[in-house]
Amino acid sequence: PARKSKTSKDSSSELAVCHMLLAELEAHRCAWPFLTPVNHKAVPGYKKVIKRPMDFSTIKEKLTSNHYLNLETFIADINLVFDNCKKFNEDQSEIGKAGYNMKRFFNKRWTELLQ
Ligand SMILES: Cn1cc(C(=O)NCCN)ccc1=O
């Protein structure tokens, strides 16, 4: 049978999964470059190159202030962190490798939890 629009239960359990996923990302040993906003005064070129900065602390703030209307907008911000990283850093740099590891970890975990 066709699924009715999302019930409030669905979205509150999805929200709980988002909190859990974010906590796991923050605890990952490769999370260090992504925990707080990149200091664009200390990182030459970052402000010009990266049009939509994003980091885990900003995502947590948005999550706790009910900014995310649905799961997709949360996942889009997580992926923005990794897309920015790939754009700005060499693949084989320490930060580039950390971003690749975090993206693989995230994809594995959210598909386990939500699909
Ligand atoms: C994600 N990212 C982080 C940094 C950085 O310097 N983070 C502070 C680590 N303490 C620089 C470029 C970049 O793309």
ipTM (interface predicted TM): 0.94
Report the pLDDT value the prediction gives residue 5, as an integer from 0 to 100.
62
Mutate to test the pocket of ligand 1, among 88, 94, 97, 103 (most ligand atoms within 8 A of CB): 88
Cα 75 to Cα 50: distance, rounded to the nearest angstrom: 19
- Ligand 1 atom closest to the Cα of residue 81 is 1
pLDDT in tens, 11-47: 788 899 999 999 999 999 999 999 999 999 999 999 9
The dihedral through the CA atoms of 107, 48, 37, 31 has a sign that is positive
Q: What are φ and ψ of residue 20, in 5° steps?
A: -65, -45
- Ligand 1 atom closest to the Cα of residue 55 is 1
- Mean pLDDT score of the chain, rounded to an integer? 93
Q: Which residue's CA is the nearest one to ligand 1's atom 10?
A: 33
Report the pLDDT value the prediction gives residue 84, as an integer from 0 to 100.
98
pTM for the predicted model, two decimal places: 0.92
Report the pLDDT value the prediction gives residue 9, as an integer from 0 to 100.
65
